[in-house]
Structure 1
Amino acid sequence: MNVGDKAPELLGKNEKGEDIFLSSYKGKKVVLYFYPKDNTSGCTAQACSLRDSYDDLRKAGYEVIGVSVDDEKSHQKFIEKHALPFTLIADTEKKLVEQFGVWAEKKMYGRSYMGTLRTTFILNEEGVIERIITPKEVSTKEHAQQIL
């Protein structure tokens, strides 16, 4: 997915097993952020940055939706543990990460594996991608400020 592309209507199931549709956010800008894993240091810092500035993001017209390939139960624990005020999509079948092109080969400690590239897509009120914050650009501790 690139700037100017329309995001898909069905985003996936959230932590409660409910289908999340883009049309539910019509008239709002959407921060759709993809992250590797619940309860890891970088992902927690990023989620907490968005949580701590959630009111400012909402005042600026944004809704926040997180996406990882973790399951609903993992998302529920992550939300509970860190008091996250936004929904998390459980992309266990990797449909959304593949659609957005953020499921890719990664390397750590000389080992290659498939994983989610930490990427944020800013969608306008019509669900069109307006801006992409790439893996190299994302600052986990100041992510909300990068968006604002």
Structure 2
Amino acid sequence: MDALYTAQATSTGGGRDGHVRSTDGFVDLDVATPKELGGAGGATNPEQLFAAGYAACFHSALQSVARREGTEIAGSSVRAEVGIGPDGDGGFGLTVALHVELERVDRAVADALVAGAHQVCPYSNATRGNLDVDITSSVR
């Protein structure tokens, strides 16, 4: 694959309890281990950053598929939930759940758009076969 864009970011100061910064400076954040994992909390963490990236990327894929199909999805949203926990082999694994909300489309159209987005989204393609992604959708 020839990359059209490459993002770069660097972690300093201790990984989960440190700082991350992209080369362009748009991401410039302290990170902290969540209280639920025994840390102090009080800053973003890798799971939140992954959830934000996946939600935005999947939403973009959803909009692209909808445009291709000639379907208007103004007012749509995608919420990503990324969980972390022991994987049973001494390491840690992730869980992902995507919640898609669409307005003014029927259920069959919504299901087709979500399935199409899951096929073209780079995050979905990267995680496929590595972790289960649970996708639910609702129509308002």
**Fold match by TM threshold 0.5:** no
Bigger radius of gyration among the two: 2
Query: Which bin holds the TM-score, normalised by the shorter protein?
Result: under 0.3
Whose helix proportion is higher, 1 or 2? 2
The structure with higher relative contact order (CA 8 Å, sep 6+) is 1
